[in-house]
Amino acid sequence: MRVRLATYCGIVLVMLGLAVACGRQPSVPDTSSDSAQKLPFDQGSRGNGVSPTQSLVPAVTRVPAGTAIAIRLRGPLSSAFAHAGDTFDGTIEEPVTNDGQTVIQRGAAVVGRVIDARHSAGNDRGYLRIALVSIQVGGKTVLLDTSSIFAKNGARDGGAAKEVVFSPERRLTFHLTQGVDLP
């Protein structure tokens, strides 16, 4: 019984001590005078290192949906040998701009994909459907969602259908279907 009473008294004393300590106001220096020391975040930037006002996240450039991307193929692409899922390489033909600033330089590498293809056979005319899937910007690969280009050969020569051929000399223009962030 004495042990219990001593335990209860000890607990009450500790709680009382905590209540008194928590209720006391700490001494806060008066910062209203000009002689008070400034805190580090109140001081101006020294010009080196990271300033609290500088962003730690690198800036990105947003290219909006609908932006035209003109390319030239690096090699020929034909419905005679292309299959859905094949890729092709090209380069940006003219710089891509946003708000008057060039965001993708002429000559940047692009990769496209054959979405669908059929070679001509008998009276069936060959066709190709292609789209861009990525571009190299600043040494990084950026994925793209673009419109597709569909071409079906309408010319017949003596009743036989011809293949669709995109030569490297031909300029192809795609449009972004979703905006993209560039590094």
Domain at 115, CATH number: 2.40.128.260
Cα 14 to Cα 3, 4, 9: the distances in Å are 16, 15, 9
Could you tell me if residue 141 is inside a domain?
A: yes
Report if residue 115 sits inside a domain.
yes
Q: Is the pLDDT of residue 28 over 60?
A: no
Question: Does residue 39 fall inside a structural domain?
Answer: no
Total count of domains within the chain = 1
What is the average per-residue pLDDT within 24-31? 58
Residue 19 falls inside a structural domain: no
The distance from CA 8 to its chain's CA centroid, rounded to whole angstroms, is 64
Mean of per-residue pLDDT scores for the chain: 82
Total H helices, total E strands in the chain: 1, 15
**Which structural domain range is residue 82 located in?**
61-182
User: Do the domain assignments include residue 144?
Assistant: yes
Tokens found for residue 72: 């030239």
C-beta of residue 133 within 8 angstroms of C-beta of residue 42 = no
* 178 falls within a domain: yes
Residues whose CB is less than 8 angstroms from the CB of residue 141 and which lie 6 or more positions away in sequence, other chains included: 134, 135
How confident is the model over 30-74, as pLDDT tens digits? 555 555 566 655 655 555 555 555 566 666 789 999 999 999 999
| Overall average pLDDT of the 84-112 stretch | 95
Q: What local confidence, expressed as pLDDT, does residue 38 receive?
A: 60
One-letter identity of residue 88: F
Cβ 182 vs Cβ 63: under 8 Å: yes
**What is the pLDDT confidence band of residue 162, given thresholds at 50, 70 and 90?**
confident
Residue 72 lies in a domain: yes
